[in-house]
Structure 1
Amino acid sequence: MKTVKIAGRNVLAIGFGTWHMGDHAKSKEQEIQAIRTGIEAGIQVIDTAEMYGSGRSEMLVGEAIKPYRREDLFLISKVLPSNASKRQLSKSLDASLKRLGTDYLDQYLLHWRGSVPLSETVEALEEQKQKGKIKSWGVSNLDTDEIEEILALEQGAQCQSNQLLYNIGERGIEFDLLPFMRQHNIPLIAYSPVAQGDSFGAGFTKQKVIIAMAQKYQSDVYQLALAWCIRDGNTIAIPQSSNPDHVRSNVQAATIELTQEDLERIDQLYPKPSRKEHLAMI
């Protein structure tokens, strides 16, 4: 199983995303079972945010993790930009902790950049780390110049991740942002790592080359897409699924080691960026 080092811990390279989860009472039990299935299959990283369902996702995660040892998990939540000031961040964090039923987060992220200066947000995050309410912090949806700005701050080197949209069909960050993050040992947390089903373009699930490659690894095409996403050993992919069978399948993607030849074939179908691109977000 491929692992990634983040904030001093080695965790499975496949995590669990919870965007759109917790919104409907009728699917609650299945979603809880999906999260628990993931944990029992080896998933440690569970990602949520105060924005997701206005806190309902955090509440769902909190209920799902009750039977498990807290120290075995790596919980991530995210603060909205409007709440990322010194005055508001602590209140948002306390509310998230209450909904999650825990007294600390393993990592707390700025969801995206807003009007609050990054310097103020970093100072607020460091204060919460000193209080023990978060063990580490990172950012989300920040581009190269913004990461440079973070790293120039007194405590900027404490930035432990950048969560970004990244998948076979969305490779823009590979031009300069991802290399810069690698240079500074900032792990990538990839959201929407299999896009939205078959939305990579060019009929990904119907590509003969992709189908043959998946058969070679005794996998399906989505496992192949996840294996590609985590291929460098510095990326945690956080696919979201409410289907326990799909969750187990996602975890198995961490066992697939793509060959250089296969990676080159994928490059031919979905080329690397040749210039700087606008940072993609959803």
Structure 2
Amino acid sequence: MASRLIASSLESTVKLNDGVIMPLFGLGVYQIENNCPQLVAAAINHGYRLIDTAEFYHNEEGVGSGLKQSGKKREEIFIVSKWWPSREGAQGALKTLDRCLKGLQSDYVDMYLLHAPQGGHCAEAYRALLDAKKQGKIRSLGVSNFGVAHLEALAKLGLDKPSVNQIELHPWQQKKDIVKYCREHDIAVMGYSPLAKGHRIQDKTVGEIAKKLSKTPAQILIRWSVQNGFITIPKTSQESRLQSNADVFDWSIPEEDMKVLDAFGDKPWSCTWNPTNNTLKEAGLQ
């Protein structure tokens, strides 16, 4: 069973089920295009060691440029990217991986994820990416937006266990069944949209807790994710917020307030899509 590790600093890491060491906190760059290189470089120079991108984000080149601008060695930074599953299946996944590496200006990507259980060819693509991992193009292979049925299907097909499942996680969307399954099967849980895309940043209850702890509402939501032991990747387009988003390690939310935030999950609400319920046929996992 995977243990719940709570990050104590930007340097905190977790050892994944394939032995790869991964930072527990980083920067998400969804919808960051024009200033992506500058933002990534600034984050790295601030101490961030994990950057999360994807084919769908159209900024892998920006991440690669940002890494170069930072002056850090490639092996010091952990980069996650994702393939958007399509009807092209294995061939499409491998082509997309090669484009990813070209954009990153790197011979490898630290972690590569199937972005969602869709496209009808996830099993064949996963097998092809496992081969790419053996070739050294991928250090760790995982999935994103996979529900319990999809994870079970991978196991039934005899495929290697994914190292990570990246899913939407914040107080209003807790996906407890998926989190429980992942932890019972040593699959690390990575949460995206910890700030719920800002849609509920003005929530009265969150504001009251923030005022009580002399923190910002954003810090409360990010700390909730960190305190739950999720790999956390808050997104920002502003360099000025990189520091405040990362100032969540030397304090904690009291248990009574965590219970209040956890209660939001009784009425689940999503700030984005939710493909975790796609059928196995839609995913191509039968």
Query: Does TM, normalized by the shorter one, top 0.5?
Result: yes
Counterpart of 1:259?
A: 254
Q: Matched residues, percent identical? A: 29
Aligned pairs (5 A) from 1:118-197: 118-157=122-161, 159-171=162-174, 173-174=175-176, 176-197=177-198
Kept in 1: contact 2:195–2:221 (CA 8 A): yes
Of 99, 103, 109, which aligns to 2:107? 103
Counterpart of 1:248?
A: 243
Given the alignment of the two structures, is residue 37 of structure 1 paired with residue 42 of structure 2, yes or no?
yes
Counterpart of 1:230?
A: 226
Q: Which blocks of at least 5 consecutive residues in structure 2 are unaligned?
A: 1-7, 277-286
Kept in 1: contact 2:90–2:121 (CA 8 A): no
CA distance in structure 2 between the aligned counterparts of 1:267 and 1:88, rounded to whole angstroms: 40
AA in 2 matched with 1:221: P
Closer, same or farther: CA 145–84 of 1 in aligned 2, 3 Å: farther
Closer, same or farther: CA 248–121 of 1 in aligned 2, 3 Å: same
- Alpha-carbon offset, residue 69 of structure 1: 1.1
CA distance in structure 2 between the aligned counterparts of 1:9 and 1:249, rounded to whole angstroms: 28
Kept in 2: contact 1:190–1:237 (CA 8 A): yes
Aligned pairs (5 A) from 1:2-17: 2=9, 3-7=12-16, 8-17=19-28
CA distance in structure 1 between the aligned counterparts of 2:255 and 2:21, rounded to whole angstroms: 25
CA distance in structure 2 between the aligned counterparts of 1:238 and 1:156, rounded to whole angstroms: 25
Cα-Cα RMSD: 2.3
Q: Which blocks of at least 5 consecutive residues in structure 1 are unaligned?
A: none
AA in 2 matched with 1:164: I
- Alpha-carbon offset, residue 163 of structure 1: 1.2
- Alpha-carbon offset, residue 226 of structure 1: 0.5
- Alpha-carbon offset, residue 216 of structure 1: 4.1
Closer, same or farther: CA 255–187 of 1 in aligned 2, 3 Å: farther
- Alpha-carbon offset, residue 192 of structure 1: 1.2
Counterpart of 2:284?
A: none
Deviation per residue, 1:183-235 (Å, 9 max, x gap): 012112211110121x23xxx5252x4334223433211011011012122x1
Closer, same or farther: CA 69–186 of 1 in aligned 2, 3 Å: same
- Alpha-carbon offset, residue 118 of structure 1: 3.2
Q: Per the alignment, in what secondary structure is the counterpart of residue 107 of structure 1?
A: strand
Counterpart of 2:283?
A: none
AA in 2 matched with 1:80: W
Q: Per the alignment, in what secondary structure is the counterpart of residue 75 of structure 1?
A: strand
- Alpha-carbon offset, residue 254 of structure 1: 3.4
CA distance in structure 1 between the aligned counterparts of 2:65 and 2:197, rounded to whole angstroms: 27
AA in 2 matched with 1:215: K
Kept in 1: contact 2:87–2:119 (CA 8 A): no
- Alpha-carbon offset, residue 115 of structure 1: 3.4
Closer, same or farther: CA 148–122 of 1 in aligned 2, 3 Å: same
Aligned pairs (5 A) from 1:66-105: 66=68, 67-82=71-86, 85-105=89-109
Counterpart of 1:63?
A: 65
AA in 2 matched with 1:255: D
How many residues end up aligned between the 2 structures? 259
- Alpha-carbon offset, residue 84 of structure 1: 6.4
Deviation per residue, 1:24-51 (Å, 9 max, x gap): xxx43xx433222221222211111112
Deviation per residue, 1:229-279 (Å, 9 max, x gap): 12122x1121211211111111112333222222112234x14469xxxx8
